[in-house]
Structure 1
Amino acid sequence: MRVTRASMTLDDLVDFFGTERENRSSDDLEDNSDFEDFMDSILPECLEARCQMQDDDCRADNAGAFLRPLTRYEVSAAIKHASTFGTATIPSAVQAVILRKLKLHRERHRTGVQGLNFVDSNSLTSLPAQLAPQSPSSGIFDSLNAIRTTHYETSFLSRLSGHRPSKYSGLIAVDWETRSPWMELMTDVREHYSYAHPVRAQLLEAPVPIHYVSMQASHLQQVHDLLARAFWDGIDVSELLQYSPERCSVVAMYGKTVVGVALLSSPQEAYITYLAVRAGWDNSHIATTMLYHLITLNPHRDITLHVSANNPAMLLYNRFGFKAEEFIAGFYENYLDSQSRASMNAFRLRLRR
């Protein structure tokens, strides 16, 4: 197949400029004539360079025929010609494939993506024949079925959570010595499992301390749940985050679990609004530690609070030096349920500094 150069004259472009030149005033005729003379002088050189570039792009196919890649204009013209038929005729499979390849070629030019390189078919080697699938031996299934537990260090959970202790923001204190009833119960469960299944791999318990930190936004959901269980529903302490939480809050954390919380209304008022410990973590001096740090964070200020008349926390407050100033009858009537064991009456306590 012989490669012939397509007509590369710019007659249409020249005619267009000529039409525009007739519509302009006589003052512009001289400028347009200069432009036309300039274009006529460089046009043969541009066309020759274009022909040379297209000749350089010619490649021989497997049959020895020389082929030239389509230009952008030729690709757009072919797509436009195929699109003029619209939906009147259904293109054949070959026509549809050619049209898609033309559109892909155009988009590659727009985005600057290079096309696929030609590969010599003689350089290709066939893949080896696929082996017939073989059923695994029974020993493999026995080994898989024998797995009961996975060590945490090699488990998928360790990849998600990691084994390094997380860095708590607003850290106040770390307690490695306290052992709560819940922690002792979990230890008993692990020991019972190890005694019942001695041949299985045993998980090593990594010691986790209790962290005392300032309240963060990530604690709100657990804090609200803890206060609802300890007092009543509907308690919202999210506004405390706007009033110096580093001085008005102490949250006890075991891992990522909130096990206790102590809150002040504000540094100026210094009124203890809530002090609560999660069930299973009481009688472990967690409330004592939180109250101590809350008082320490607000020195030289009197601290007040209200406590139910039959609340055992009265003994805790007395140990810190709180004194009763007032007895208020029915203080909790609007908050506690009528069947609650807590007294509706309250004492107003003050710690004078």
Structure 2
Amino acid sequence: MVTDPVLDGLRAYIVGGAVRDELLGLPAGDRDWVVVGATPEAMTRRGFVPVGGDFPVFLHPRTHEEYALARTERKSGRGYKGFTFYTGSDVTLEEDLARRDLTVNAIARDADGRLIDPLGGVRDIHARVLRHVGEAFAEDPVRILRLARFAARFGDFSVAPETLALCRAMVDAGEADALVPERVWKELSRGLMAAQPSRMMDVLAQAQALPRILPGLRVDDAVKADLDEAARRDLPLPGRYALLCRASPQGAELSARLRVPTECADHARLLPVVLDGLDALAAGPGVPHDAARRLALMERCDALRKPDRFIELLRTAGVRTAVDPAAWQAALQAMRGVDAGAIARQYPKQPDCIKEALREARLRAVREVLE
């Protein structure tokens, strides 16, 4: 029974991910609504706040949930922006659902709790299959990335063979080449934060999209295992991205091309430095050399100014090799405990002497905590 006066008489349906996740027994997230038979003017009169750009989307005046007018779309150009939308009041719910990407995302629930499932999404949820809704899937290359991301999130779902075949045809037709860096990064970052990130890479590879969407990226079995281990350890995004790029000599170029956040680019750049430093320590002959190597590694990673980043890099490196966090924390604290100001006052106007004395003091401090 609808008790919200703003919704009274409005044909509104919960659609997409909220319905899918409820059927999977997953925690409820944000709800998206589709409104059938309404106009923008009617929505505004009810108090909804318009926020849509390409097509009419409104925020509920109290809950701030998104309500979109039912729409159809027609391909009018290349890429994910090459669409013309129609949002007339005659668009049906079934027509709106038919323009969606996957059957599991094309299920609606009405105000009384009844499911509307014209495309077999419930069946595919039970069968644990990710299947495209129709041939219109091929009109939007972002859907290749979304498919791969959903495979990473739902590890027990397979991808329908005909859906993979359609993705390969899209790549062959050059649709994937129209993807802009911002959209690639948005979907990639979400896939990396999923429960099984390796599956995103697998699906992109099976779709033959990996070299077109992420040129220069090398993803072997070891990288995929690292990504899944990072997910098990609940590493944040910068660490997961760094592990993804670890085997790629062109990682810096990829970061620039995708315009990734600075923190992610820095982790990708510094993780090989940390891993090399840890390897050198593992082969080292003893404490005096350990102290020098530890100090050198901390200096190269700018650990004095960015201690939290350095510790997070060590945590990421722990996916690949043994790391003693307590020893590194102690060494970092010792390094930061040296009074640089006091040393500078001992050598007025002698910058070279200050630099040498400061490094010697830090080296002694690190050595002391290791002995």
Give the structure with the higher percent helix. 2
**TM-score normalised by structure 1 residue count:** 0.24
Q: In terms of Rg, which structure is larger? A: 1
